[in-house]
């Protein structure tokens, strides 16, 4: 194994786990006595030991760590071999020329190194057939590198697997397709103001801890959650047998690698779609909750709502179905963190970054509203910031409500939503429309700008009272760097009466872009 790989493995583990935790893991395993040089060749066993140690420390499957490492090393490979990479090349171009330029350079510079054989056939500008062959069978590393390159160039590359050495085939064949319809939107250049480090592999969307507790669930849900948590669930009795022996289970064509976590309302699993080797998140409703009509109805509403929405700023639903009589939802696997944690890492954000977040969130809300839906729970925890692109996505549609739906889930003594981000008409159990989401987003933007939640109080009753009666201080007063026009827009979104708020997403989006343009000049 080329020493460069082992050096980068160490760097990957340090950044993923933190230097101290990785040093402790190395010391405990006895692997801290070896140092590696990028100019030498080492036994494959030594690389495997580092990968297994990282997987055990992270508590994730080995093949998942291999793919994560592939994503990590992709940008380093671009840096090392920039002299042979043409400036106009993008993901498919680099893959097409890897064998000719990069692997040949590796073999000449270090005869003992044995890189894999890559045979690429360019089918069209946006499609490539790739054959991978290596005794090491590290096709997961190749997939990770491809995904990392796509992240770097802000491209969407779909990977379709035709054969795989891990399944007994003599080589792996992949079809790579560049999806121009899903290309990432251009991000503002914030590198000079913020240092981003959001690649924590254990942070994924759909954390089941957000399904229970707090103030955003009904009393009935809390009882169900407490009952369910008290009795460990034998999920393997509901899911299908594993496709590969080391897996946890399977759901249709999905290899379930393991549980991300379990809450009272259900469980989120990390899985791989065997049809294209993409990692996905699968949310399965808890068996006990699925027997409760209201909870199951709310979960099914999430399935139906998300299937209708198409936006780069809303979590993408890949599939829905039922396993063991339990409904499940297959979503794209998002790496990064929610907006609440994102904000906490940097204490404060510059105005242009807050405006970017606002514009992308409104774009997502526009897609939601076009489908005749209201999210009803816009808050920092339900806005996701992706690690590779900083793309903002709206997640968690468990409380989504059809505008034409007359059934109310709010009833005497209970309410659904998060009080400190809830529109007054929603908190009082009245009729709501899309403008309720604008109030919630106004609360989020107020919090991002000032560091204060405008209506947050020590308890629910005082919070509800503040929603009905309190007018918060203008954000510009609390944060002088806040553009005046942005401050005024936030205050308009926080108006008690829906008719005094902006009336649609287009109105908000146009104002935000005008403010952004003035800020840039």
Percent of the chain's residues with pLDDT above 70: 79
Spatial neighbors of 393 by CB under 8 A, at least 6 apart, are 205, 312, 313, 314, 315, 334, 364, 383, 384, 386
Judged against a pLDDT cut of 50, whether residue 216 lies above it is answered with: no
Judgement on whether residues 221 and 135 belong to the same structural domain of the protein = no
Judgement on whether residues 19 and 163 belong to the same structural domain of the protein = yes
Q: Which two tokens stand for residue 176?
A: 């790579």
Q: Among candidates 401, 406, 481, which has minimal Cα distance to 448? A: 481
Judgement on whether residues 327 and 352 belong to the same structural domain of the protein = no
Query: Tell me: the pLDDT tens digits for 428-446?
Result: 888 889 999 999 999 999 9
Judged against a pLDDT cut of 50, whether residue 210 lies above it is answered with: no
Query: What CATH number does residue 291 fall under?
Result: 3.30.200.20
Specify if 200 maps to a domain: no
Other C-beta atoms lying within 10 Å of the C-beta of residue 308: 14
With vertex at residue 517, the alpha carbon angle to CA 512 and CA 518, rounded to the nearest 5 degrees, is: 100
Q: Whole domain around residue 494: which residue ranges?
A: 336-520
What sign has the CA pseudo-torsion 283, 288, 294, 295?
negative
Distance in angstroms (rounded) separating the CA atoms of residues 145 and 276: 15
Judgement on whether residues 75 and 163 belong to the same structural domain of the protein = yes
Strand partners, 329: 283, 320
Which position among 377, 396, 437, 447 bears the catalytic label? 377
Judged against a pLDDT cut of 80, whether residue 195 lies above it is answered with: no
Query: Tell me: the pLDDT tens digits for 349-380?
Result: 889 999 999 999 999 999 999 988 888 889 99
Query: Tell me: the pLDDT tens digits for 95-149?
Result: 888 776 655 555 455 555 566 777 888 889 999 998 888 877 888 888 888 988 8
Range scoring the smallest mean pLDDT among 18-22, 129-133, 181-185: 181-185
Specify if 364 maps to a domain: yes
Q: pTM for this one?
A: 0.59
Q: Which two tokens stand for residue 224?
A: 């169900």
Find tokens 């609440």 and name the residue: 340
Specify if 192 maps to a domain: no
Query: Tell me: the pLDDT tens digits for 233-272?
Result: 777 778 888 877 778 888 989 998 888 767 666 788 888 8
Note whether 302 and 257 are within 8 A (CB).
no
Specify if 380 maps to a domain: yes
Does residue 145 sit in helix, strand or coil? Answer: helix
Specify if 390 maps to a domain: yes
Query: How many domains, the chain?
Result: 3
Query: What CATH number does residue 135 fall under?
Result: 3.90.1520.10
Q: Is 377 a catalytic residue?
A: yes
């Amino acid at each position: 194994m080329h020493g460069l790989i082992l050096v980068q493995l160490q760097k990957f583990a340090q950044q993923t786990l933190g230097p101290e935790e990785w040093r402790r893991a190395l010391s405990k395993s006895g692997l801290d006595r070896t140092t590696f040089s990028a100019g030498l060749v080492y036994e494959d066993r030594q690389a495997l030991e580092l990968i297994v140690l990282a997987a055990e420390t992270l508590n994730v499957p080995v093949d998942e760590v291999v793919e994560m490492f592939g994503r990590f090393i992709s940008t380093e490979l671009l840096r090392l071999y920039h002299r042979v990479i043409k400036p106009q090349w993008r993901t498919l171009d680099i893959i097409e020329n890897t064998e000719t330029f990069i692997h040949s350079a590796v073999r000449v510079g270090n005869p003992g190194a044995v890189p894999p054989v890559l045979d690429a056939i360019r089918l069209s500008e946006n499609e490539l057939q790739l054959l991978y062959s290596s005794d090491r069978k590290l096709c997961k590393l190749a997939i990770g590198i491809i995904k990392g390159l796509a992240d770097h160039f802000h491209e969407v590359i779909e990977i379709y697997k035709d054969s795989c050495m891990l399944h007994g085939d003599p080589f792996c064949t992949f079809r790579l397709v560049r999806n121009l319809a899903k290309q990432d939107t251009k991000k503002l250049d914030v590198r000079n103001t913020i240092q981003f480090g959001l690649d924590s592999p254990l942070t994924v969307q759909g954390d089941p801890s957000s399904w229970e507790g707090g103030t955003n669930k009904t009393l009935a849900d809390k009882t169900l959650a407490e009952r369910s948590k008290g009795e460990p669930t034998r999920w393997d009795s509901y899911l299908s047998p594993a496709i590969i022996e080391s897996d946890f289970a399977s759901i249709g064509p999905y290899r379930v690698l393991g549980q991300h976590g379990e809450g009272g309302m259900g469980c989120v699993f990390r899985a791989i779609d065997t049809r294209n080797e993409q990692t996905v998140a699968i949310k399965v409703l808890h068996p006990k909750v699925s027997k409760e009509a209201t909870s199951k109805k709310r979960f099914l509403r999430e399935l139906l709502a998300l299937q209708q929405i198409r936006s780069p700023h809303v979590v993408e639903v890949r599939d829905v179905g039922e396993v063991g009589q339990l409904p499940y939802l297959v979503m794209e696997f998002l790496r990064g963190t929610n907006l609440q944690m994102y904000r906490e890492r940097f204490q404060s954000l510059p105005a242009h970054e807050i405006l970017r977040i606002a514009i992308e969130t409104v774009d997502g809300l526009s897609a939601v509203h076009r489908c005749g839906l209201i999210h009803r729970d816009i808050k920092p925890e339900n806005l996701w910031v992706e690690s590779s692109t900083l793309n903002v996505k709206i997640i968690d549609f468990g409380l989504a409500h059809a505008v034409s739906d007359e059934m109310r889930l709010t009833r005497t003594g209970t309410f659904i939503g998060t009080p400190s981000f809830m529109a007054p008409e929603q908190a009082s159990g009245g009729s709501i429309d899309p403008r309720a989401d604008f109030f919630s987003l106004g609360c989020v933007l107020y919090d991002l700008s000032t560091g204060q939640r405008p209506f947050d109080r020590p308890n629910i009753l005082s919070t509800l009272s503040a929603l009905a009666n309190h007018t918060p201080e203008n954000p510009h007063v609390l944060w002088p760097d806040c553009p005046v026009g942005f401050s005024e827009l936030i205050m308009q979104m926080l108006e008690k009466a829906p008719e005094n708020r902006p009336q649609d997403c287009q109105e908000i989006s146009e104002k935000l872009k005008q403010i952004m343009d003035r800020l840039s000049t």
